[in-house]
Structure 1
Amino acid sequence: MAPPSLPTPDRTLDTSGTLCPFPIVETARAVRALPEGAVLLVVATDPGIATDMPMWCRAMHHEHLATFKDGAAWKSYLRKRGR
């Protein structure tokens, strides 16, 4: 179930059916194309995203908003920040 008050994503990236590191590699590519402040929703079936996404956001200075299981998929929200 989604945490309350998550923003509407500006883009959704579906990485379902892929394994690490593909979800993070594709996230990095997608974030580069977004303006600062935009929200990206990443959908993944690899449970590793639950630990990988918060660490990647911290390392890249983006804001990790939430990662949670929704049925068979994981959903991860992040906001692009400038460096």
Structure 2
Amino acid sequence: MDSFWTIFWLGVISLAFLAYLLLLFEISTDLFRDHRTSGWMKAVWVCFLLLVPFVSALAYVIVKNDGIAERSRTAQPRE
């Protein structure tokens, strides 16, 4: 019975890590799409994402929530 729970938690942790990596990828692409943010501020965000990943990812989503969807929508090619 121990092996079932070990495999179960390994799957849960793997999915959480995958979701976190997808969030970091989305944050980094949005960060470099934003033309209103200066280069120094982008460097500060990247440093914080590397040093304090969970807190800075949450802070980025809270602080920059106004334009994330808009920048994503404008970056997609129109048909």
TM over 0.5, shorter chain: no
Higher helix share: 2
TM normalised by structure 2 equals 0.28
Structure 1 or 2, whichever has the larger Rg, is 2
